[in-house]
Amino acid sequence: MTFSVSDHFMKGRITVEGDKRISVRTITLSRLLKKYQFETINLICDSEGGEVEMVQHEAELLRDHVKCLILEIHPEERGAEAIASTLATLQQIGFDIVERDHAKGTVLALLNRRLTPPD
């Protein structure tokens, strides 16, 4: 995968733009779960725009194995429509937003109704 780097360590992103690009090895969430034999996990995801593809390609795995998802979204990188579609998919597969960073609104805590017992 191509990753654009910046002089500031907090400003790297998944993109094909930018002067400094590096190639980064990736692994799927599915392969990690199989490798370490995890049944249920909590996932913190700050993939600098890659959250859209993760939800597109691994929705079933998220539905069946992720109890709590802390997700940073990147509407400025991916566009409001892609982020809205990603959040709609998460809701359809059983996730509810239970907390939102009120300062920026870009960090969300979601719980999986299928894996979280009711109060």
**Block residue for tokens 């692994």:** 27
Q: Do the strands 41-45 and 66-72 form a parallel or antiparallel pair, or are they unpaired? A: parallel
Residue at 81 is within a domain: yes
- Alpha carbons 119 and 112: distance in angstroms, whole number: 13
Residue 62, domain extent: 27-112
- 28-38 per-position pLDDT tens digit: 889 999 999 99
- Domain membership of residue 19 (yes or no) is no
Q: At what angle do helices 51-65 and 80-92 cross, to 10 degrees?
A: 10
**Each residue's pLDDT tens digit, 1-29:** 666 666 655 555 555 555 677 777 878 88
* 12 within some domain: no
Residue 59 belongs to domain with CATH number: 3.30.110
Residue 78 is assigned to a structural domain of this protein: yes
Residues 48-94: pLDDT tens digits?
A: 777 888 899 999 999 999 999 999 887 877 888 999 999 999 999 99
34 DSSP 8-state letter: H
* Position 6 in a domain: no
Counted domains in the chain: 1
In a domain, residue 7? The reply is no
- Integer Cα distance of 68 and 109 in angstroms: 7
